[in-house]
Structure 1
Amino acid sequence: MDPAPYIDIYCERAAAGFWAEPVNALTNLAFIIAALVAWPTAWRRPERGLLELTVIALVAVIGVGSFLFHTLATPFSAALDVIPIWLFFFLYILLLFVRVAGEKTFDIIGYMIGTIMGFALLVYLVGLASRGGEAPLNGSLQYAPALVAMAIASVVAVWRDHPVWRYFAGATAIFIMSLTFRSLDQSTCMATAGLGTHFLWHILNATVLGILLQGAVRELPPKN
């Protein structure tokens, strides 16, 4: 009987098996740490909201989903890896719009429609760039919409002289480094003795999400 198929797209995995990517698997603890650091600030204040707590919890879920993917390496675990990331992306944007627009429902709806349209356009352009071969940049191009959104948020926050710009700008800069290490994973495989650089994507990306959470809970509190 043939062995069960598994997904092999990272340098560290050289064979099938639950513990074939130990470093890639264990570095997902960084996401759980980022969520645990942000949770007390949001939980202890009386005006805490379900959306904010959900966004924080999703960062921990991202860590769990990524851990499952780097251990099980199946299509189902791949979905568990990707879906929480994009849920976080959209819910974090929704959280920002709610905190900025307050109870102005139509403003929030308008912002979200504009965001979804822009996201759809970027996904379409990424799809065009990925046709006819392997995904560019080791698949990192799929995160271009998130990078663009973070850069735009940074510019808008600076333009409005809002103190949250420091969090957005810092997160954007680290995200660029994070994407760089994700993209170099396979090409650095020999130089890193089979380890690769994907684990640095986990650590730096968890740092990015942690900074974004801190920006939300500290500089964008719920409106009274």
Structure 2
Amino acid sequence: MHWMQAVDLYCERTGPGFWAEPVNAFSNAAFVLAGLVALHRARSDGADIWIRILCLWVAAIGVGSFLFHTFANRWSALADVLPIWSFVAVYVVFTLRRTFALGWPATGGVLAIGLAAIALVMRLLPDGIGERTNQSTQYLPAVLIFVAFAAAFAWSGRPGARLIVSAGLVFALSLFFRSVDLAACAHLPLGTHFLWHLLNATMLGLLLAVALRHRLPPPAA
């Protein structure tokens, strides 16, 4: 069946077995830990339901990625990418609405402009760069979002600007390790993809910390 077709993308995987990528699989615990630690803080701070949902979403990213690095087939690849990109979409909308207090029309306008800019940049990428970077170019939109948010936070003086910049730098480093996984395979049989997991979990933890700075005030007694 198409959905059961095996997928082999990473250096550590040397066969079709469930535990053929043990380090890549278990390093996803970092996402779950980041989400649950942030959730504990959110509850302690009385954060609203949307921030708590974002925390659980980060934990779900770890679960989806674990499924992909164990089952390693088409359906688990979908379980991997859906939580990631849906989190990106929800976090962007959350930030535009909560942090920058944009109404829905303005939010829609910003999203439309952003998607058009991303589409243009992706179209201008050189041919073959995806293969040379282990398909890491799919995450270029996230890089562009970080650049835009860092500039917007710094210009507006919103709380969390340094955290956004730090998260962006951590993501850039994680993207490097994802890109060189196969190239480094001859010298490092373990590969470098697990560092993508650990650094991305750190990055998401920083983004949740930014969200917590913009939690709604508790309801009046």
Letter in 2 for 1:36: L
Paired with 1:159 and 1:118, the residues of 2 have a C-alpha distance of 18
Secondary structure of the structure 2 residue equivalent to 1:135: helix
Deviation track 1:115-158 (CA, whole Å, cap 9, x = no partner) reads: 24423542464366476685341111111111111121111111
Q: Which moved more, 1:91-100 or 1:18-27?
A: 91-100
Alpha-carbon deviation of 1:101?
A: 4.7
Paired with 1:70 and 1:130, the residues of 2 have a C-alpha distance of 29
Structure 1 partner of 2:146: 150
Q: 1:1-224 to 2 correspondence within 5 Å?
A: 5-46=5-46, 48-102=47-101, 107-123=103-119, 125-126=121-122, 129=125, 135-192=131-188, 194-217=189-212, 219-222=213-216
Q: For the Cα contact (< 8 Å) 2:25–2:70, is it kept in 1?
A: yes
TM-score (norm: length of structure 2): 0.88
Paired with 2:191 and 2:185, the residues of 1 have a C-alpha distance of 5
Alpha-carbon deviation of 1:187?
A: 0.1
Q: For the Cα contact (< 8 Å) 1:181–1:200, is it kept in 2?
A: yes
Deviation track 1:91-135 (CA, whole Å, cap 9, x = no partner) reads: 111111221354x6xx23322342244235424643664766853
Paired with 2:135 and 2:123, the residues of 1 have a C-alpha distance of 11
RMSD between aligned residues: 2.1
Alpha-carbon deviation of 1:89?
A: 0.4
Aligned residue pair count: 215
**5+ long unaligned stretches in structure 1:** none
Paired with 1:87 and 1:121, the residues of 2 have a C-alpha distance of 19
Q: Percent identity?
A: 39
Deviation track 1:71-103 (CA, whole Å, cap 9, x = no partner) reads: 00010000000010011101111111221354x
**5+ long unaligned stretches in structure 2:** none
Alpha-carbon deviation of 1:33?
A: 0.7
Change (3 A) 1:50 1:7: same
Q: For the Cα contact (< 8 Å) 2:97–2:107, is it kept in 1?
A: no
Change (3 A) 1:33 1:54: same
